[in-house]
């Protein structure tokens, strides 16, 4: 079954694919070709594979006999995943008066914000990435999915969907510790998952940003770094700049002596999260290009 997936232009699926191919936390989670992305999510406890395929329009392919509720769930998830409904025109307009960042926009033109596939995934990963190198955090995430992920066949390959919140809250810290081999993070994951489940995804998506952030900060184990990651990288909420050292480093590399954090915040306003996403993505591509040329 194929359903059309509308996107807000400008949009480049090639940029989406390039981002996912180089995003360490999700390496191995998807099947990626030059024109398609296949992923898996859990819908009402059953893992479902879906494929976003390039074309005009994009299409989402899903199991042939999916019921209407599953179709809606998969189409919505696909759209959220690739930021299909994001409007990048305000970001691009602001960049016109910012030559260093305009160069980044030209490099990434048409890239929409690619999220973690589900809130459940970022809920687990936000704990794993605390004070831990990204490759090591990704390894722990793979261990978690190998043990608890819901398997589904996709073109002869087994993908594992992150369980839904009502399933994750049933896991105890001993089970998680045995799976990932890190008792402290297991304890935090169990608590964070329960805290996020109590708040609810609808509230985190629709409440005023400050209210959503403060609700997350009330969960033991969720600090400003994790709260920003959940709202920005998980739910695509771009209202504030995440407190990440890498953003500061990328900004100084891009702007040089002209870097002025206050001026950038004024210029980009509620687009500051998108600005940081582009900045870090552009900087990482430059770094990889240098490494390849070395």
* Residue 12 domain-assigned (yes or no): yes
Task: State the greatest distance between any 2 C-alpha atoms of the chain, in Å, as a whole number.
Answer: 58
pLDDT classification of 291: cutoffs 50, 70, 90: very low
* Residue 72 domain-assigned (yes or no): yes
Is the pLDDT assigned to residue 246 strictly greater than 90? no
pLDDT classification of 84: cutoffs 50, 70, 90: very high
Lowest mean pLDDT among 167-176, 212-221, 224-233: 224-233
* Residue 199 domain-assigned (yes or no): no
pLDDT (tens digit, 9 = 90+) per residue, 169-215?
999 999 999 999 999 999 999 999 999 999 999 999 999 999 999 99
* Residue 35 domain-assigned (yes or no): yes
Please tell me the distance from the alpha carbon of residue 270 to that of residue 144, in angstroms, as a whole number: 34
Please tell me the distance from the alpha carbon of residue 219 to that of residue 129, in angstroms, as a whole number: 17
CATH code where residue 54 lies: 3.30.310.20
Higher pLDDT, 7 or 262: 7
Cβ atoms of 1 and 71 within 8 Å: the answer is: yes
What is the pLDDT at residue 52? 98
Residue of 190, 192, 157 whose CA lies nearest to 176: 190
pLDDT (tens digit, 9 = 90+) per residue, 51-83?
999 999 999 999 888 899 999 999 999 999 999
HSE at residue 183, side-chain half, CA atoms within 13 A, is 1
* Residue 170 domain-assigned (yes or no): no
Residues shown for the chain:
294
pLDDT classification of 286: cutoffs 50, 70, 90: low
Cβ atoms of 22 and 288 within 8 Å: the answer is: yes
What is the pLDDT at residue 294? 45
Please tell me the distance from the alpha carbon of residue 118 to that of residue 132, in angstroms, as a whole number: 21
Number of domains in the chain: 1
**Angle of CA points 174, 179, 184, to nearest 5°:** 55
Cβ atoms of 239 and 113 within 8 Å: the answer is: no
What is the pLDDT at residue 240? 73
* Residue 151 domain-assigned (yes or no): no
| Cβ partners under 8 Å of residue 214, min gap 6 | none
Please state the φ and ψ torsions of residue 52, each to the nearest 5 degrees.
Answer: -95, 125
Which stretches within the chain are classed as H helix? Answer: 13-21, 68-81, 89-95, 99-108, 119-128, 134-148, 165-168, 173-180, 183-199, 201-206, 209-217, 224-229, 245-255, 261-268, 272-293
pLDDT (tens digit, 9 = 90+) per residue, 134-150?
999 999 999 999 999 99
What is the pLDDT at residue 161? 98
Please state the φ and ψ torsions of residue 105, each to the nearest 5 degrees.
Answer: -60, -40
* Residue 263 domain-assigned (yes or no): no
Q: What is the mean pLDDT of residues 212-226?
A: 95
pLDDT classification of 239: cutoffs 50, 70, 90: confident
Lowest mean pLDDT among 139-148, 162-171, 254-263: 254-263
Please state the φ and ψ torsions of residue 158, each to the nearest 5 degrees.
Answer: -85, 120
Is the pLDDT assigned to residue 292 strictly greater than 80? no
3-state secondary structure of 220: coil
Q: What is the mean pLDDT of residues 146-167?
A: 96
Please tell me the distance from the alpha carbon of residue 272 to that of residue 118, in angstroms, as a whole number: 22
Q: What is the mean pLDDT of residues 21-39?
A: 95
Please tell me the distance from the alpha carbon of residue 61 to that of residue 164, in angstroms, as a whole number: 21
What is the pLDDT at residue 290? 45
Pairing relation of β-strands 36-43 and 31-32?
antiparallel
Cβ atoms of 114 and 23 within 8 Å: the answer is: yes
| Cβ partners under 8 Å of residue 249, min gap 6 | 283
Helix (H) / strand (E) element for 64: namely none
pTM of the model: 0.92
* Residue 214 domain-assigned (yes or no): no
Given CA atoms 5, 11, 14, 17 in this order, what sign does their dihedral have?
negative
The residue behind tokens 């995440």 is 242
For residue 62, what are the domain limits?
2-88
């Amino acid at each position: 079954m194929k359903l059309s997936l509308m996107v807000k232009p400008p949009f480049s699926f090639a940029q989406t694919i390039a981002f996912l191919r180089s995003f360490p936390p999700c390496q191995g989670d998807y099947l990626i070709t030059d024109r398609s992305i296949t992923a898996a999510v859990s819908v009402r406890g059953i893992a479902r594979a879906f494929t976003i395929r390039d074309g005009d329009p994009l299409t989402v392919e899903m199991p042939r006999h999916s019921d209407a509720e599953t179709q809606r769930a998969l189409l919505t998830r696909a759209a959220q995943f690739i930021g299909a409904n994001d409007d990048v025109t305000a970001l691009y307009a602001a960049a016109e008066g910012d030559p260093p960042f305009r160069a980044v926009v030209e490099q990434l033109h048409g890239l929409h914000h690619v999220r973690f596939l589900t809130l459940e995934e970022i809920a687990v990963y936000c704990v794993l990435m605390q004070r831990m190198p990204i490759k090591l955090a990704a390894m722990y995430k793979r261990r978690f999915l190998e043990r608890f992920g819901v398997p589904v066949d996709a073109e002869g390959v087994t993908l594992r969907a992150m369980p839904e919140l009502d399933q994750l809250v049933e896991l105890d810290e001993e089970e998680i510790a045995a799976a990932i081999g890190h008792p402290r993070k297991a304890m935090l994951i169990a608590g964070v998952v329960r805290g996020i489940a109590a708040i609810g995804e609808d509230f985190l998506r629709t409440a005023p940003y400050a209210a959503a952030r403060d609700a997350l900060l009330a969960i033991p184990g969720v600090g400003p770094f994790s709260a920003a990651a959940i709202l920005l990288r998980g739910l695509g909420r771009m209202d504030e700049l995440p407190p990440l050292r890498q953003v500061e480093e990328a900004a100084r590399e891009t702007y040089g002596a002209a870097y002025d954090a206050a001026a950038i915040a004024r210029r980009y306003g509620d687009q500051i999260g998108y600005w940081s996403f582009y900045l870090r993505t552009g900087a990482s591509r430059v770094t990889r290009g240098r490494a390849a040329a070395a």
